[in-house]
Amino acid sequence: MPLLEVKIPPMGESISSGILAKWHVSDGDVVRKDQPLFELETDKITSEGTAEAAGKISLKSAAGDEVKIGQVVATIDPAASGQTSEVRPAPAAAAPAPVAKEGISSPAVRRIAAETGIDPATVAGTGKGGRATKGDMLAAAQGGGAGAGPEAKGEREKSAAPSAAPTPSPIPDRPSSGAPRQTRRKLSPLRAKIAQRLVAAQHEAAMLTTFNEVDMSAVMALRAKYQDDFVKKNGLKLGFMSFFTKAVVHALREVPAVNAQIDGDSLVENHYYDIGVAVSTEKGLMVPVVRDCDSLGMAEIEKAIADAAKRAREGKITLADLEGGVFTITNGGIFGSMLSTPIINPPQSAILGLHAINDRPVAINGQVVIRPMMYLALSYDHRLIDGKQAVTFLVKVKQAIEDPARLLIAV
């Protein structure tokens, strides 16, 4: 039986090569049909290659090699598929983000674990029995730094005992193990492309950011009232992103200038509503696109976002999943961000940044009350979008979130 060649698959017309980032198997392993074999990084996506047949694999390229589309990186001998050699499963890094078991961690902890890939079992917990709290998870996502959220801050303040100020040392501390003080590695194609696009966006667009704040009380009340019924019917929770996606579609219809882009010396007006949702992965930020959001229900939007995020983190996203968006939503609030100025995702003309929800005192009808508030940030290309249009767009989003009934009657 002839050997089966394992080739780098086509990734799209604009991709001719990539980096063979990781092998999930070793030379001489017996692999199963459809078993993940390798991870390929390009300047646009990270994807996996799988075995087309069972058999003994022989590797022809090493991890870290630059490989061309169509290049043979391994061969599989189907005649050896019946050998008793151990079939090595893909390492844990290729699996979906771990989620704590039901009953051990709170829903908030499990949500953050799914979003960030941080295993609650690896976090030093400050809760009962050493369990990780929401604050602990936010602190871990922020690297333990400031802005990890009010719960994490409170736990740190309670655990920080006063101590004498350390005596300054004129010599910086050095690792006692003799480990190097620095490591150096080449940027991955994806990270290099992200860097290039971010710099280009700032140089090519007249970027400006406008801010507002939104009272989340109405949306939170709706979620609390209908969450159980929503989960029973759809098999997943009703989140905030579906509300904001619908609010963005509503605002794009009211202010069509935001749903446009500049192409050379032409103005391109879009009449569809494919919304990109930024997803943080180990390889960098990806923006899978949810198509035709104007015609999708809340459950369909939630399912599409969850599926796209899962595939992005598992390296199964395709180039087609990332193309064609007209507007992007990015949510730094899950990491505890209070306020930021997001960068436009070219060739789009605007991006909406969401942030953490915090109880704050606000004045309503002459009275100071405590409400769950979120800051919103809209970055936009001032060459195309005037300040009045940008502010109006953001106000429309705010009104739709504070009074979701507006989404039903389109006002």
Please identify every residue annotated as catalytic: 382, 386
Q: 3-state SS of the chain?
A: CCCEEEECCCCCCCCCEEEEEEECCCCCCEECCCCEEEEEECCCCEEEEECCCCEEEEECCCCCCEEECCCEEEEEEHHHCCCCCCCCCCCHHHCCCCCCCECCECHHHHHHHHHHCCCHHHCCCCCHHHCCCHHHHHHHHCCCCCCCCHHHHHHHHHHCCCCCCCCCCCCCCCCCCCCCCCCCCCCCHHHHHHHHHHHHHHHHCCEEEEEEEEECHHHHHHHHHHHHHHHHHHCCCCCCHHHHHHHHHHHHHHCHHHCEEEECCEEEECCCCCEEECEEECCEEECCEECCHHHCCHHHHHHHHHHHHHHHHCCCCCHHHHCCCCEEEEEHHHHCCCCCCCCCCCCCCEEEEEEEEEEEEEEECCEEEEEEEEEEEEEEECCCCCHHHHHHHHHHHHHHHHCCHHHHHCC
The token duo for 274 is: 């494919």
Q: What's the CA gap between 1 and 229, in Å, rounded?
A: 56
Q: Which residues of 341-356 are buried (b: 16+ CB within 10 A; e: fewer)?
A: ebbbbeebbbbbbbbb
